Amino acid sequence: MGDLNRKKMRMKNAAARALAILLFAGLLTLALAWFGADPAGAAGAAPAAGAQDQAAVVIPPKPGPPVDVANDELAKFISGLPCDSEALRALQATPAWQAYAQALDKGWAELEAKRWAPMREWAATELAEANAATRTLFYPFGGPDFVTPSQMFPDASAYVLFGLEFVGKLPEFAADGPRAAKHLENYLGNLTAAVSDFFNKSYFITRNMNALLVRDRVEGVLPILCLFLKRTGYTISSVKRCEFLAPGEVFEYDFSYPRKTFRKPYGVKIEFFQPGSGRVRSLYYFSCNIADEYFAKDSLYYKYLDGLGFETSLIKSASYLMQYRYFSNIRSLILARSKFVLQDDTAVPFKFFSPRIWDVRLYGEYSTPISEFRGVEQADLKAAYADPAAVRTLPFHVGYHWGTQKDSLLLFKRRPAAAR
């Protein structure tokens, strides 16, 4: 009787094992079919008849980054680019916009040929190491010039700019009415004037910006930032206001949130991306004064920058301010935090870059500072440029010597042993 029971038990176990194997095989077949695999092909056998007719599994594409449609469309409009918005398309049919767009197309094409294309080609080799190392680019004294850093350091995740000029806002245009056409014509004319110094000379002139970037003409730098973003091929994902509410911390909130007054420092953050790419990057512009009186080491903005962790500083057309003792804090911060510094002769004086800490490459030609700036010539930098073997060519023109086109750029790289 015991042998019979043991025999029955062995038969039940065998049946259970067989059933488990069948269930596993069935589940495996279903899983392979679900993911588009052929079990016969996986085993090396010829596919069964009709296997090609199985429906392929379709994985839906990942959604792209969000688009701030209203601001992106308005940015297209003031950039002289075609819009999808019905209201803005109507305004694009006006003679004023048509003339503006044609002039901007022409001016941008000329800049592309003589400045941007040579700059990108030069940067691809001379700045390859710095570009690869740069996640955050710090560009003091550049105002709303997003184009230059984006061409030289195209792989950065964040660009931090600042200037004295206020942020402002994008314009609003009425579709019709007795004053609508004149308002549009005036605005586009003022915007053209606001960027003309940059187009012609590669930098902005403070007194001209003070005259043009006012509420009844072009309200702040935001329109210029958006124009540059669109003309360099980017889509705007979001626009946010930035304020400092605690040392070293930035509070970001929707740009449309109304505020009557702002106290410096404050700013704007524009998130943007290249069409076809899922990578969203950030452009910051802060309105602030960085003379030591306002930029003390315990100030909100200083603490923010000190903790930012930027790898590279780009400085040009900086009015030689860091030669003076009352701009020592920003100078010290750049020297303490940067791994690379790319600058012209108007930035951190050459004498502050110790050869024990920094390697340097010289480009272009050193010239005596232009007549607006006296007493700022650097004898040591002039001597360094006197050795032809130490100087490399610069195939484009940037900076104050736009008349003579005798430009200089210096690339400093921190030595590995010179820990920050």
Count of beta carbons in the 10 Å neighbourhood of residue 184: 19
Q: Is residue 3 part of a domain?
A: no
Residues 6+ apart with CB under 8 A from 311: 130, 133, 134, 135, 136, 137, 338, 339, 340
Establish how many alpha carbons lie within 13 A of residue 192's alpha carbon, considering only the half-sphere containing its beta carbon: 18
Q: Is residue 293 part of a domain?
A: yes
Q: Is residue 369 part of a domain?
A: no
Q: What is the mean pLDDT of residues 179-199?
A: 94
Confidence of residue 257 (pLDDT cuts 50, 70, 90): confident
Q: Is residue 399 part of a domain?
A: no
- Where b means 16+ CB within 10 Å and e means fewer, 261-273 reads eeebbbbbbbbbb
pLDDT for the residue numbered 34: 39
Q: How far is CA 138 from CA 142, 313, 343, in A?
A: 10, 5, 12
Q: Is residue 132 part of a domain?
A: yes
Say if residue 132's pLDDT is above 80.
Answer: yes
Nearest by Cα to 327 from 355, 352, 310 = 352
Q: Is residue 392 part of a domain?
A: no
Taking only the tens place, the pLDDT of each residue in 337-391 is: 999 999 999 999 999 999 999 999 999 999 999 999 999 999 999 999 999 999 9
Say if residue 26's pLDDT is above 80.
Answer: no
Say if residue 76's pLDDT is above 60.
Answer: yes
Q: Is residue 367 part of a domain?
A: no
The answer to whether 324 touches 293, Cβ cutoff 8 Å, is: no
**Residue 301 lies in domain:** 69-345
Which residue, chain included where needed, has tokens 């000329």?
110
Q: How far apart are alpha carbons 59 and 185 in whole angstroms?
A: 49
Q: Is the pTM of this model over 0.75?
A: yes
Least confident of 5-14, 82-91, 240-249, 292-301: 5-14
Number of structural domains the chain divides into: 1
Task: Kindly report whether the peptide bond that precedes residue 388 is cis, defined as omega within 30 degrees of 0.
Answer: no
Q: How far is CA 13 from CA 5, 19, 62, 74, in A?
A: 12, 10, 48, 74
SS3 helix, strand, coil % of the chain, rounded to 5? 40, 15, 40
Confidence of residue 59 (pLDDT cuts 50, 70, 90): low
Taking only the tens place, the pLDDT of each residue in 306-343 is: 999 899 999 999 999 999 999 999 999 999 999 999 99
Q: Is residue 351 part of a domain?
A: no
Residues in a beta bridge with 414: 358
Say if residue 44's pLDDT is above 80.
Answer: no
Q: How far apart are alpha carbons 354 and 399 in whole angstroms?
A: 25
